[in-house]
């Protein structure tokens, strides 16, 4: 089983780590190439490029300038314990056992605008660069064009034939994968909450649900779509009716 998730804008570099284990990103040379471009951007350029406030632009200008390699446990931190958004509160990685952390390391991948593809224990430095940012890199007109072939090839090299591949990333990030070239089908669960008389996707809850399903997959031996349908964290359950209507794997509450 393989799982993909999105990164988060919020980062936490203060909380004590539950493990000293770490690994290094596979595409760190590519990350350096992107950072070389980012370092040429002033805070004003970053504000316009990323549509962020003056304060956040200044913060990320400093991050870009201070990016340095090689990564080690003194200047970088494992990704799964650094990203701090809604998806990651659903995963609750700090309560994973050592065995579950090892399972995550082999099965979970985090898509990233700067790092391409991260394993949970891959070291990262602070950054902000969404995959949808229109940033030309070399001959690539944007990050999708820069990363798509690299990410797809990397995933294919890890996927076995008929292996369950669960997409719990947002559309912005999963679009960095060339689905037509994947050796397996990509299953993309949908999460809906009942509001105003009907089931609908509510962004905040859907993000946390993607995290909770990630945790469910790490907690259990899930090998098939039928196993996946047993997801029941956070009050969600598989809806055959909603799934049939939308031709998707839908979970409701």
Q: What is the pLDDT of residues 110-139, one digit of tens each?
A: 999 999 999 999 999 999 999 999 999 999
Compute the mean pLDDT over every residue in the chain, rounded to the nearest whole number.
Answer: 97
Cα-based distances in Å from 220 to 87, 231, 235, 253: 18, 10, 17, 21
Q: For residues 60 and 78, what is the distance between their CA atoms, to the nearest angstrom?
A: 19
Q: Give pLDDT tens digits for 37-71.
A: 999 999 999 999 999 999 999 999 999 999 999 99
pLDDT band at 84 (very low <50, low <70, confident <90, very high): very high
Its pTM stands at 0.96
Confidence of residue 245 (pLDDT cuts 50, 70, 90): confident
Report residue 166's pLDDT band, with 50, 70 and 90 as the boundaries.
Answer: very high
User: Span 216-222, mean pLDDT?
Assistant: 96
Confidence of residue 26 (pLDDT cuts 50, 70, 90): very high
Q: How far apart are CA 30 and CA 158, in angstroms?
A: 20
**168 and 213 Cβ atoms separated by less than 8 Å:** yes
Q: Is the pLDDT of residue 226 over 90?
A: yes
- Rounded Cα distance between 181 and 176, Å, is 12
Which percentage of the chain shows pLDDT scores above 70? 100
Region 186-194 average pLDDT? 97
Residue 63 CB: number of other CB atoms within 10 A?
A: 19
| Range 147-151 average pLDDT | 98
Sign (positive or negative) of CA dihedral 82, 35, 143, 57: positive
Burial grade of 227 (CB within 10 A; 0-12, 13-18, 19 or more): middle
């Amino acid at each position: 089983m393989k799982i993909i998730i999105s990164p988060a804008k919020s980062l936490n570099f203060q909380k004590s780590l539950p493990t000293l284990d770490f690994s290094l990103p596979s595409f760190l040379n590519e990350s350096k190439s992107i950072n070389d471009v980012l370092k040429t951007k002033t805070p004003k350029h970053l504000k316009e490029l990323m549509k962020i406030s003056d304060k956040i632009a200044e913060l990320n200008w400093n991050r870009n300038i201070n990016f340095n390699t090689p990564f080690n446990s003194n200047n970088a931190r494992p990704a799964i314990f650094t990203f701090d958004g809604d998806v990651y509160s659903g995963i609750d990685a700090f309560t994973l056992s050592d065995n579950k952390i090892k399972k995550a390391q082999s099965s979970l991948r985090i898509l990233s605008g700067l790092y391409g593809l991260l394993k949970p224990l891959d070291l990262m430095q602070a950054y902000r660069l969404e995959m949808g940012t229109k940033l030309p890199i070399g001959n690539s007109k944007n990050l999708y064009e820069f990363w798509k072939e690299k990410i797809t090839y990397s995933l294919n090299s890890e996927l076995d034939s008929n292996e369950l591949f669960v997409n719990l990333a947002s559309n912005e990030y999963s679009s960095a994968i060339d689905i037509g070239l994947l050796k397996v089908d990509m299953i993309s669960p949908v999460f809906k909450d009942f509001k105003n008389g009907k089931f609908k996707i509510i962004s905040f809850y859907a993000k946390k649900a993607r995290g909770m399903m990630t945790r469910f997959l790490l907690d259990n031996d899930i090998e098939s779509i039928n196993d996946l349908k047993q997801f029941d964290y956070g009050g969600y359950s598989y809806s055959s009716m909603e799934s049939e209507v939308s031709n998707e794997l839908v979970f409701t509450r």
